[in-house]
Structure 1
C-alpha cells in the first residue's frame, strides 16, 4: 500500500469521494453530512492523502484542514475491500505528522455515531469525545472528538 499527498481533483479520487458521499448519505440526513467538496479540498491549508493499492488504484483517502486553532480531520474513507489492513491508521498517522510539522498541536473531527470502526480507530489513536466545535451545531447524528499532542510527540504507534 502506497500513501502519498496528492491533489484531490483527479477522476479516480472523485470516484472515491463519491463512494464516501453515497455511504454517508445512506446513513444520515443530508443536513447532517458536513462534507467538504473537491474545490474546498484543494485549498492551500488542506493536507490531502490518498492510499493506493500496488496497481495504483485508490483505496482510501483522508484530509486535515489546518487552521490557526486546530487541524480538522475530514473526508476519511477506506474502500471496503481495503479495510482491516491498517490503511486508515496509516492515513491518519501521515496526516497528523505533516500537520504537526506545520505547527498543529490540536486535532478535531466530526464523525457519525453509526460508524463503529471509525470511532474505535479514533479512540485507539488518542482522540476523546468532546462537544461541538467551530461552526458545527449540536447534532444527534454527530460525534465530536479531539486530540492534543505535545511538542516532540510522535503520532506513530
Structure 2
C-alpha cells in the first residue's frame, strides 16, 4: 500500500532519495551537471513529500516559494523499481494540494530534455511549457513548465 507523508529536508529518507536522484542526474546531465546541481540544494526545502510502499521510501518531491504567487517544484524522484506505477503523479498532486493550502496560485519547474519520463509526467498532469526562467534562460537542455492551481 502506498502512503504519502509530508515532511522537511531533514527527513533521512528524503536525503537518501535525493542522493539517488543526484547520482541519476550526474549521468544524464553529463558536463552540465555541476551547473544544475548548484541550484538543487535541499537545506531550504520545508515542504517535502515522500512516498512509502510497504514502509520503504520509494519517491519524493518538494516545493519552495518562487514568488508571492508561485512555488517551484524541486527534487522529484521515484526509485527505478517503482516507476510506472503512478507514484510520481501522486507526489505531484500532493505538492499541488499543499501549495494551494499555502495560498499559491501556480507551480513552476524546470526539467531536462534528457529526462523524457519527467517531461511526460508534467505534460500528462496539465503542465504547460513556458519560456525558461531565471538561471535556466539560455540553457539548451532545460525545459520549463507552469501549471495554474486555481
TM-score when normalising by structure 2: 0.89
Superposed CA RMSD in Å reads 1.5
Structure 1 runs of 4+ aligned residues shifted over 6 Å read none
Which consecutive residues of structure 2, in runs of 5 or more, have no partner in the other structure?
none
Q: Corresponding residue for 2:19?
A: 18
* Counterpart Cα distance in 2 of 1:34 and 1:132: 17
Query: What pairs with 1:128-143 in structure 2 (closer than 5 Å)?
Result: 128-143=128-143
CA apart distance, 1:71: 1.1
Deviations 1:31-55 (A, max 9, x none): 13454323122xxxx411000111x
Deviations 1:7-26 (A, max 9, x none): 22233322211110011111
Which consecutive residues of structure 1, in runs of 5 or more, have no partner in the other structure?
151-157
* Counterpart Cα distance in 2 of 1:134 and 1:47: 21
Deviations 1:118-150 (A, max 9, x none): 111101111111112234332012111111132
Deviations 1:42-93 (A, max 9, x none): xxxx411000111x11110000113313111000000001111110000000
CA contact (8 A) 1:2 1:52 kept: yes
CA contact (8 A) 2:129 2:145 kept: yes
| More helix, by proportion | 2
CA contact (8 A) 1:35 1:75 kept: no
Corresponding pairs, count? 145
CA contact (8 A) 1:47 1:64 kept: yes
